[in-house]
Amino acid sequence: MSFDRMIEKIVEMQNPTVAGLDPKLAYIPPYILEEAVAEHGKTLEGAAAALVTYNKGLIDALCDIVPAVKPQAAYYEMYGWQGVRALAETIAYAQEKGMFVITDGKRNDIGATMEAYATAHLGTTDVLGEAVDAFGADALTVNGYLGTDGIKPLLGVCGEKDKGIFVLVKTSNPSSGELQDQKLESGKTVYEAMGAFCETWGEAVMGKYGYSGVGAVVGATYPAQLGEMREKAPHTFFLVPGYGAQGGGADDVVPAFDKNGLGAIINSSRGIMCAWQKEKCDEHDYAQAARREAIRMRDAFRARIGEIRLGE
């Protein structure tokens, strides 16, 4: 009912990072694309087959050192239902390899529809009396701007199925301040108010290490806000995108961690997936290049936050 499973993996691997799986054909080594095209042609089926092969290679290379993966749904949806099937296959494969899976879907709607999203991504779908996991991720990113009735259905599923959600609080993009930094009548900023909601919503799904199953997305590109929110939302675990390709560095995200080195999981997607192109290494070495980058990232945090310990 919380992020306890994810926290335990972070501590076991001494690695507070998550590898983003946002595959585009431009990132995939030509030998994988050629094999997929030879079998399926230049079709959505072919693209989806390439995505799965590429992702499985990355997962195999990362699963013993990185606790979690974060597939962003848009990169699969762009390849139609075949791409969506690739997302489901990716989630299942990563879990088989012991990884915690955060589907980045940023879903939001009224309560009744959120119930459907909760069932689809985290829960179990009833098919005429048969209970089937549709996507079965461990956590989902959501948008909280529809308010409590949009979040409540997720809390039920999180409680029953030991899953978590990450609510958008202070996003990493350049324009995030246009709305999120606005001051409300209460004197709080919009992101601060959303962080306070996360603390309240999380009370229903509290874990044993001091963090609830309601986390927050806070960008690495806003270090001051990361530190501010760490103080103001002490029971809210942070998913921190914006490291690497968006310019956030290891020093920038240090304020996201608590005194035990917990409290945040830092995402890198393009930085890890495209490491082989940056290194200009042999295309067949793409997964090992990703592993080398993931180790560099892990070690950068180890050097800054020291040993990660279970709190409370």
Q: Which residues are catalytic?
A: 106
268 binds ligand LLZGTKA7 (CB under 6 A): yes
DSSP H or E segment with residue 255? none
DSSP 8-state secondary structure symbol assigned to residue 105: E
Spatial separation of the C-alpha atoms in residues 143 and 154, rounded to whole Å: 12
Stretch that binds ligand LLZGTKA7, among 27-35, 81-89, 201-209, 264-272 (CB under 6 A): 264-272
**Cα 48 from chain centre:** 21
20 binds ligand LLZGTKA7 (CB under 6 A): yes
Spatial separation of the C-alpha atoms in residues 311 and 141, rounded to whole Å: 24
Contact 164/201 with Cβ under 8 angstroms? no
Size of the site for ligand LLZGTKA7 (CB under 6 A): 19
292 binds ligand LLZGTKA7 (CB under 6 A): no
Stretch that binds ligand LLZGTKA7, among 25-33, 154-162, 182-190, 238-246 (CB under 6 A): 238-246
Q: Which of residues 37-56 bind ligand LLZGTKA7 (CB under 6 A)?
A: none
β-bridge partners, 95? none
Identify the residue among 16, 215, 267, 294 touching ligand LLZGTKA7 (CB under 6 A): 267
Contact 69/99 with Cβ under 8 angstroms? yes
Ramachandran angles phi, psi of 133, nearest 5°: -75, 125
The Cα-based distances of 56 to 19, 49, 69, 89, 212 in angstroms read 13, 11, 12, 9, 31
**Least distance in angstroms from the C-beta of 176 to ligand LLZGTKA7:** 7
Torsion, CA 94, CA 170, CA 254, CA 12, rounded to 10: -20
Identify the residue among 67, 164, 242, 263 touching ligand LLZGTKA7 (CB under 6 A): 242
DSSP H or E segment with residue 177? helix 177-180
DSSP H or E segment with residue 149? helix 148-161
Identify the residue among 246, 253, 265, 294 touching ligand LLZGTKA7 (CB under 6 A): 246
Binding mask 112-141 for ligand LLZGTKA7 (x = CB under 6 A): ------------------------------
Q: Which is nearer to ligand LLZGTKA7, 72 or 82 (CB)?
A: 72
180 binds ligand LLZGTKA7 (CB under 6 A): no
Q: Which of residues 206-225 bind ligand LLZGTKA7 (CB under 6 A)?
A: 217, 219
Spatial separation of the C-alpha atoms in residues 185 and 232, rounded to whole Å: 18
DSSP H or E segment with residue 285? none
**Least distance in angstroms from the C-beta of 220 to ligand LLZGTKA7:** 9
104 binds ligand LLZGTKA7 (CB under 6 A): yes
**Least distance in angstroms from the C-beta of 38 to ligand LLZGTKA7:** 29
DSSP 8-state secondary structure symbol assigned to residue 184: P
Spatial separation of the C-alpha atoms in residues 149 and 274, rounded to whole Å: 39
Q: Which is nearer to ligand LLZGTKA7, 61 or 272 (CB)?
A: 272
Q: Which residues contact ligand LLZGTKA7 by CB under 6 A? A: 20, 22, 72, 104, 171-173, 217, 219, 241-242, 244-246, 267-271
